[in-house]
Structure 1
Amino acid sequence: MAAWGVLKAVLVDLNGTLHIGDSAVPVSQEALKRLRSTPVTIRFVTNTMKECKRDLLESLTKLGFDIAENEIFTSLTAARNLLEQKQVWPLLLVDDKALPDFTGIATDDPSAVAVVVGLAPKHFHYEMMNKAFQ
């Protein structure tokens, strides 16, 4: 058993740890409940770039997990944070389902100075690649 007084936070990977696809990993809900009974801060991390945080949260909720949206940190979260920190306009090469995580970020500026690349096969074509490299 960990020394809870020393441990400040736990990062829990989502896919493969709490769920695999559309199924919860057996006993993962109970394990999360036990972890929540401790004084540590819990954050959930994932490198998925194919869906927005809201959709991911909805899927996790349907699987029986008690998780708040602000507890989830994704690759899209990191990308958005960096865009805001650097104050740059991006060209987003991400799946349409990931776009809500960039709401409020100006993406229509023709002088985009950053390119965010995610899992988006339909955006990988000559016209878009040409735009990205201009």
Structure 2
Amino acid sequence: MIKGVLMDLSGTIHVGTTPITGAIGAVERLEKAGIAVRFVTNTSRKTRDSLHDTLAKMGFDIPREHMFTAPLAVRRYLEQHKLRPYLLVHPNLYSEFDGVEQENPNAVVVGDAEDDFSFRKMNEAFRLLKEGATLLATGRTRYFEGDQGLELDAGPYVAALEYAADTSAIVLGKPAPVFFHEAAEELGLQPSECVMVGDDAETDVAAALDAGLQAILVQTGKYREGDEARIGKPFIKATDIVAAVEEIMRTVAVRP
């Protein structure tokens, strides 16, 4: 039985700064029905506070504490393991790591740095990794749907550093199972009691299924025809978030 929903943001309820048609009402419908929701995202060009403000300007009434972000998961990992990061992230994200010791780094943190993926910074990260630093990543997402079309995400740059330094990244956002499990735990639920809703066949849907959740693939955002072939387990397909919420409500209603 579905008791909780983990919902992607970019491509699922909005694209760039524009809400997907019907998304605001669909989110409100879940809240009014008393279904627990966490908004899970690898977005790493903005802090959680900034992301919350952006969503509010679009018209979404989402509590800040209901947003479960990959950068905050990275910060928790740094603090738990007493690591000092070299931040290869977007300048907007620096404040998310305020108070974390960064001198003499023994870890490299990679997010979606956008224009800051310069040769100088990538090379500095590479040298640290060759010296034994730990590679941490907000995610492995290859690309996402932006205002002007598809845009590269952090995944290709993580792969480049892994290849160059002959190392493996610890991924702390999607598609890591721990990310889904921690979000479900925040809701006080088992993974099997949650459904993940997203537009990425691999990072959202296949990964959630592998982590023991149910999953719905929405045909908006980065979705392209044929993406279903990347999913090897049973899932639900919905035209958009409105249809996905309708499916969730139907499932909740017909099961005891």
Match of 2:76 among 74, 81, 92: 81
Deviation at 1:124, TM superposition (A): 2.6
Q: Which residue of 2 aligns with 1:130?
A: 124
Letter matched to residue 118 of structure 2: F
Letter matched to residue 130 of structure 1: E
Deviation at 1:131, TM superposition (A): 5.5
- Determine which structure has the larger helix proportion and give its number: 2
The answer to whether residue 3 in structure 2 is matched with residue 8 in structure 1 is yes
Contact 1:18 1:25 in 2 (8 A): yes
Deviation at 1:18, TM superposition (A): 1.1
Per the alignment, do residues 123 and 20 of structure 1 end up closer, same or farther by CA in structure 2, a change over 3 Å counting?
A: closer
Q: Which runs of 4+ in 1 moved over 6 A?
A: none
The TM-score, its normalising length taken from structure 2, stands at: 0.46
SS of the residue aligned with 1:98? helix
The answer to whether residue 40 in structure 2 is matched with residue 45 in structure 1 is yes
Deviation at 1:14, TM superposition (A): 0.5
Of 59-68 and 118-127, the range deviating more from structure 2: 118-127
CA distance in 2 between counterparts of 1:127 and 1:94 reads 10
How many pairs were matched up? 127
Letter matched to residue 119 of structure 1: D
Q: Which residue of 1 aligns with 2:86?
A: 91
SS of the residue aligned with 2:76? helix
Contact 2:39 2:67 in 1 (8 A): yes
Spell out, residue by residue over 1:55-87, the C-alpha distance to the aligned partner (whole angstroms, 9 max, x if none).
111110001111122111122122112112212
SS of the residue aligned with 1:101? helix
Contact 2:108 2:125 in 1 (8 A): no
Contact 2:42 2:70 in 1 (8 A): yes
CA distance in 1 between counterparts of 2:67 and 2:60 reads 12
- The Cα RMSD (Å) is 1.7
SS of the residue aligned with 2:124? helix
The answer to whether residue 23 in structure 2 is matched with residue 33 in structure 1 is no
Q: Which residue of 2 aligns with 1:3?
A: none
Spell out, residue by residue over 1:12-57, the C-alpha distance to the aligned partner (whole angstroms, 9 max, x if none).
1101111111101111111111100123221101111111111111
Letter matched to residue 126 of structure 1: R
CA distance in 1 between counterparts of 2:22 and 2:43 reads 23
Deviation at 1:127, TM superposition (A): 5.8
Percent identity over the alignment is: 35
Give the unaligned 5+ runs of structure 2: 129-256
CA distance in 2 between counterparts of 1:24 and 1:131 reads 36
CA distance in 1 between counterparts of 2:36 and 2:82 reads 30
Spell out, residue by residue over 1:74-107, the C-alpha distance to the aligned partner (whole angstroms, 9 max, x if none).
2212211211221211111111101121122122
The TM-score, its normalising length taken from structure 1, stands at: 0.84
Q: Which residue of 2 aligns with 1:17?
A: 12
The answer to whether residue 55 in structure 2 is matched with residue 71 in structure 1 is no
Letter matched to residue 55 of structure 1: S
